Amino acid sequence: MSDRTTTSCSGFTRSEAIRMGAARAGDGLPAIEPGMPTPAGTGLTRRGLLLRGAGMAVSVYGASKLGVDALEEGVARAAATPAGRVLVSIYLPGGIDGMSVLAPTGDPRYATLRPTLKVTSGTAHSVDRGLTWAPAASALATLDGEGKVAAAPAIGYTGADQSHFTSRHFWETGDVGFSSSYGWLGRYLDQHGDDGNPLQGLSLSGSLSPALAAAEVPVAAVADPFDLGLWTPGMWGDALPPFYDALADLGALPTSDPQLRTVRVAAAQAEGVRRQLSGMAGATPATSSYPAGDYGRRLSALAGLIDDDLPLRCVTVDAPGGYDTHDNQAAALPGLLKQTCDGILAFQRDLEARGIADRVLVLVWSEFGRRPQQNQTGTDHGAAGVGFVVGKQVRPGLLGEFPGLATLDATDNLRSTIDFRSVYCGVLEEWFGVDAGPLVPGAAGFARPSLLA
């Protein structure tokens, strides 16, 4: 999958790799291609399996030795703790073409390298007037004009790997190697989280985001907080509350069998998460401002969960669609980009209306950028890409600079001017107030950007 000249991909998501005979990466975790690095958290026990089997879209992962008492104590501690800062990580799957988001229209080589895919109109960046926000990214341009965006126009790492799977693994673990088995946010939660609070790491997806995979503490995955129903034949209406109670009571039953104990605690944990999120069930998403579809629903729900002071710390969301635009880019990319950016603006406006915007930081990333020179109708896998930090407390401007197109790297790709791990270190130290040294391999070697105003 190291792809420098080809113009097609047989599929870039781990779930698609199942069709190609890929090995299952872990119970409940995404699948991978043969020979590629396993996702962070491989081997984690999906402790919500019991309720999954009953039809409930709640899963709790990790902390296999955690007992019901510890869970209840952790939930009580979290409820008594003042609401803190939340990081929302939005992943743009497939490797988005950064030069079609924040376009280097001031570079004389740009039009030559992009004869049919160049951006010809848009909004100038607030700091670097040689960079132009594409029309489809006008929502981010709006936030940039308000001083709420720090943009990295050439973010990546040295020796970029152009495999979707490998590069995404590096971003998820915060380590450009294969020694890290857990996600960078999972490591943060292991050291600074709570062993009884599954909501501290919440993946708004049908499966766990590997970036949240933790070794010691529980984390959760919820596909749709607006719909936490349990679809079981013969169970509806007045029969459901007693059934939920029975699941919770199951976790408290004593047993000397370690496997049975795991199942029972799984029931208690997943039911506990369902109850914490129950205020959203049946609510109406704010569809008037959010884009339609799962992405908009999840961001809308997330704003409500944060406003309810639930003990969230790190939340992951996938942007809609796929950005692996080897061909037909002019038709495929703008719609996806607009939906993604409109969702971020709607989320920010929702937080501001609720008076909680100062508690939330949004990190937007993709596994790599695209090649500066287009192919026939698209762009192939590249190196440096684009990323953003969005929020009311962000120090606006650029993270790194655009390196220009006159001098590319040894593979004729865009050179990175800031390492993604530098941004991770800044998030950990400035936003969460913890030492990045134990959490990001090689942290001492990365200059810290100034992320907050």
Domains for the chain: give ranges and CATH numbers.
37-445 (3.40.720)
Pairing of strands 58-61, 219-222: antiparallel
* Distance between CA atoms of residues 80 and 388, nearest Å: 33
Confidence of residue 21 (pLDDT cuts 50, 70, 90): very low
- Tell me, rounded to whole angstroms, the distance of Cα 18 from its chain centroid: 21
Q: 204-227, pLDDT tens digit by residue?
A: 987 889 999 999 888 888 888 887
Cα→Cα distances 377→7, 296, 327, 333, 339, Å? 9, 29, 5, 12, 22
Q: Is the pLDDT of residue 3 over 90?
A: no
In DSSP notation, 387-423 reads: EEEESTTB--EESS----SSS--TTS-PPPSEEHHHH
3-state secondary structure of 103: strand
Q: Per the structure block, which two tokens stand in for 261? A: 């104990």
Task: Specify the amino acid at residue 300.
Answer: S
Average the pLDDT over 256-260 and give the result.
55
Task: Specify the amino acid at residue 58.
Answer: V
Of the CA atoms within 13 Å of residue 344, those in its CB half-sphere come to 34
Contact call for residues 62 and 47 (beta carbons, < 8 A): yes
Q: 379-392, pLDDT tens digit by residue?
A: 999 999 999 999 99
Helix residue spans in 13-56 (DSSP H): 49-53
Place of tokens 């001083």: 147
* Distance between CA atoms of residues 227 and 186, nearest Å: 26
Contacts of 320 (CB under 8 A, 6+ apart): 291, 293, 294, 295, 336, 339, 340
Cα→Cα distances 375→4, 8, 91, 326, 371, Å? 11, 11, 25, 8, 9
More confident residue, 31 or 343: 343
Average the pLDDT over 411-417 and give the result.
97
pLDDT of residue 240: 47
Average the pLDDT over 267-286 and give the result.
62
Q: Per the structure block, which two tokens stand in for 445? A: 């070697």
Specify the DSSP element, H or E, that contains 111.
Answer: helix 110-113
- Tell me, rounded to whole angstroms, the distance of Cα 128 from its chain centroid: 27
Average the pLDDT over 437-441 and give the result.
97
Confidence of residue 20 (pLDDT cuts 50, 70, 90): very low
* Distance between CA atoms of residues 139 and 290, nearest Å: 12
* Nearest CA among 175, 131, 96 for reference residue 443: 175
Place of tokens 């920010």: 348
Contact call for residues 148 and 396 (beta carbons, < 8 A): yes
Of the CA atoms within 13 Å of residue 90, those in its CB half-sphere come to 28
Average the pLDDT over 417-431 and give the result.
98
Q: What is the pTM of this model?
A: 0.85
* Distance between CA atoms of residues 8 and 114, nearest Å: 18
* Nearest CA among 422, 412, 418 for reference residue 443: 422
pLDDT of residue 220: 87
What phi and psi, each to the nearest 5 degrees, are found at residue 381?
-55, 135
* Distance between CA atoms of residues 294 and 312, nearest Å: 20
* Distance between CA atoms of residues 190 and 140, nearest Å: 33
pLDDT of residue 295: 96
In DSSP notation, 185-247 reads: HHHHHHHHS-TT-GGGEEE-SSS--GGG--SSS-EEEES-TT---B-BTTB-GGGHHHHHHHH
Contact call for residues 371 and 361 (beta carbons, < 8 A): no
Q: Per the structure block, which two tokens stand in for 126? A: 């607030």
Task: Specify the amino acid at residue 112.
Answer: T
Q: Say how many C-beta atoms besides its own lie within 10 A of residue 449's C-beta.
A: 21
* Nearest CA among 378, 381, 364 for reference residue 423: 364
Q: Per the structure block, which two tokens stand in for 227? A: 């719909």
Question: Is 135 exposed, middle or buried, given 0-12, 13-18 or 19+ CB atoms closer than 10 A?
Answer: middle
Q: What percent of the chain has pLDDT over 90?
A: 61
* Nearest CA among 96, 386, 61 for reference residue 210: 61
* Distance between CA atoms of residues 231 and 119, nearest Å: 48
